[in-house]
Amino acid sequence: MEQLIALYSLAMTQSSQPSRSPTPALLAGLVLTLAAVLLFAYYMTSQLAGLRALQSNLVDRNRKDSLQLLRVQNDLNSIALAMRDMLDTREPYPLTAWTAQFERIRGDLDAALKTEESFSPTQRTADQRTYLNQSLAQFWDATDRMFALAASGKEAEGREQIQVTLQARQAALSTAVSRLLIQNNEGEEQTTAEISKIYNRVQRQLYLFLSAALLVIVFTSLYLIQANKKIFVQMEALSAQRSELAQKLISTQESTLRHLSRELHDEFGQVLTAIGSLLTRSGKQMAADSPLREDLKEVQEITQSTLTKVRGLSQALHPVLLDEAGLEATLDWYVPTVERQTGLAVHYKKSGNPFAVEAGAAVNLYRIVQEGLNNVSRHAQTNEAWVRLNYGAKELALEIEDHGKGLKPEKGHHGIGMVAMRERAELIGGTLEYQKPEAGGTRVRLSVAREKVEAHGG
């Protein structure tokens, strides 16, 4: 008993020792991972915003600006062609005939330059804008003078004005516009290169982030595996201690019950038997008409009744028949006893080729039958039960079945009887199952390998 208490104390001490929980480390890993994800998301957002700004503010503006410059250049080319025709002496038209065409081109040029100014790239300088506007203004001033000369009848001087001034200024304007187009192309190439750099940088950062995230996941997983391994080892050790403790508790319980049963059967039974014999002899020595004779007879009946109860209690604590005749004979005696005591109609069936069951296993099997029938009597709300014992070639199977209200334990709660049945099943290496028959109710089925319960030489 002292060893049992020591084992229990050791189990409780080890189970109560605080072990380092992996939760803080896992939470820290989760926080770091989330922080890294948020930082990387912020970084990606900022980079994408920069790309969007480059694309919308530079690339798109450059393209729209280039379209307007091409429009200006096209108008300048139209002016050049018109001036070529104006200088052709074979043309029958006077110079003033081109006034309307020049006015149309002038209006289109002004509109194109105003539109182009709203799209001009940020790298465009004020000097470039001023030069372009001044050159265009000077060109139109010269054009106005040319048409004024032509209108006054000075065609020759007007053509000379075209050759000397207008063609040179038109060429200068075309050159300035061409330079702006080249500048736009160069700016677009630089922007494309910058976008490529951003993409490459984001790609590198993405690879670094994925690598770091994978490392965090790997280390977290390894830590979790190691922590779980330690927990499982501790649980396995505690489970082994619990099984050993349960075995010793059950062994101690059976030893105590066996001792009490023998004490009741042998000591109290013998005392009560002796008292009954003394009362019988005393009654024979008294006269038949003695008033004490009836009292002695009544005491004798009480003694006999007490003896019967003591022997019944002895059998209930631990059937002597279990040690002397084995499991099969004990069940043959116990099933009718249950029927008399509880009113249950127990259908007991044996099958297979019986073999001798080892004493320790027989006690546990008997207790499982006892607890199963007690549960039926107390909780199943039925007056009928079935007990089946099958001696198989490879296993011993035991079933206790009822068709009552069924087994409905509360969530997270199991009766002490169910726990004890499972513990006893584990002690003999068996498997205990709670099944639901087709007719309803509960079936408790125990199966155990024959080699684990068969008595040597049986």
Give the model's confidence band at 261: pLDDT under 50 very low, under 70 low, under 90 confident, else very high: low
> What does the alpha-carbon distance between residue 166 and residue 354 come to, in Å, rounded to a whole number?
129
Identify the pLDDT of residue 108. Answer: 92
Give the model's confidence band at 1: pLDDT under 50 very low, under 70 low, under 90 confident, else very high: very low
> What does the alpha-carbon distance between residue 85 and residue 93 come to, in Å, rounded to a whole number?
10
Identify the pLDDT of residue 325. Answer: 83
Tokens of 392: 């198989």
Give the model's confidence band at 412: pLDDT under 50 very low, under 70 low, under 90 confident, else very high: very low
Identify the pLDDT of residue 64. Answer: 83
Identify the pLDDT of residue 123. Answer: 65
Which range has highest mean pLDDT (13-22, 67-76, 298-307)? 67-76
> What does the alpha-carbon distance between residue 420 and residue 253 come to, in Å, rounded to a whole number?
12
Identify the pLDDT of residue 55. Answer: 65
Q: Which fold has domain 319-453?
A: Heat Shock Protein 90 (3.30.565)
Identify the pLDDT of residue 413. Answer: 46
Answer yes or no: is pLDDT of 380 > 50: yes
184-217, pLDDT tens digit by residue? Answer: 888 778 877 877 787 788 788 778 888 887 887 8
Write the single-letter amino acid at 225: I
Answer yes or no: is pLDDT of 403 > 80: yes
Tokens of 79: 């002016």
Write the single-letter amino acid at 242: R
pTM value is: 0.50
> What does the alpha-carbon distance between residue 39 and residue 162 come to, in Å, rounded to a whole number?
66
Identify the pLDDT of residue 85. Answer: 86
The residue among 431 and 319 whose pLDDT is bigger is 431
The residue among 388 and 405 whose pLDDT is bigger is 388
324-366, pLDDT tens digit by residue? Answer: 888 888 899 889 988 988 889 999 999 999 999 998 888 899 8
Answer yes or no: is pLDDT of 446 > 60: yes
Virtual torsion, Cα 72, 73, 77, 80, nearest 10 deg:
80
**Residue boundaries of the structural domains of the chain:** 23-219, 319-453
Burial of 360 (0-12, 13-18, 19+ CB in 10 A): middle
Identify the pLDDT of residue 414. Answer: 54
Asked if 94 contacts 150 with a C-beta cutoff of 8 angstroms, the reply is yes
**Helical segments of 286-358, H only:** 291-317, 320-325, 327-342
Average pLDDT, stretch 83-94? 82
Average pLDDT, stretch 390-408? 88
Mean pLDDT of the chain: 80
Identify the pLDDT of residue 310. Answer: 75
**286: which strand partners?**
none
Give the model's confidence band at 3: pLDDT under 50 very low, under 70 low, under 90 confident, else very high: very low
The secondary structure of residue 454, as a DSSP letter, is B
β 395-402/384-391 pair status:
antiparallel
Percentage of the chain with pLDDT > 90?
16
**Helical segments of 263-290, H only:** 269-285
The residue among 379 and 8 whose pLDDT is bigger is 379
Identify the pLDDT of residue 458. Answer: 45
Average pLDDT, stretch 138-162? 89
Give the model's confidence band at 449: pLDDT under 50 very low, under 70 low, under 90 confident, else very high: very high
> What does the alpha-carbon distance between residue 432 and residue 359 come to, in Å, rounded to a whole number?
20
Which range has highest mean pLDDT (168-172, 311-315, 345-349, 402-406)? 345-349
34-77, pLDDT tens digit by residue? Answer: 787 788 778 778 777 777 766 666 677 778 888 888 988 998 99
Identify the pLDDT of residue 442. Answer: 92
Asked if 417 contacts 371 with a C-beta cutoff of 8 angstroms, the reply is yes
Maximum separation of any 2 CA atoms in the chain, in Å? 185
Contacts 24+ apart (CB under 8 A), 251-254: 252/1, 252/4, 254/318, 254/363
Answer yes or no: is pLDDT of 407 > 70: no
Domain 23-219 in this protein, CATH class:
mainly alpha
Termini Cα distance of the chain: 32
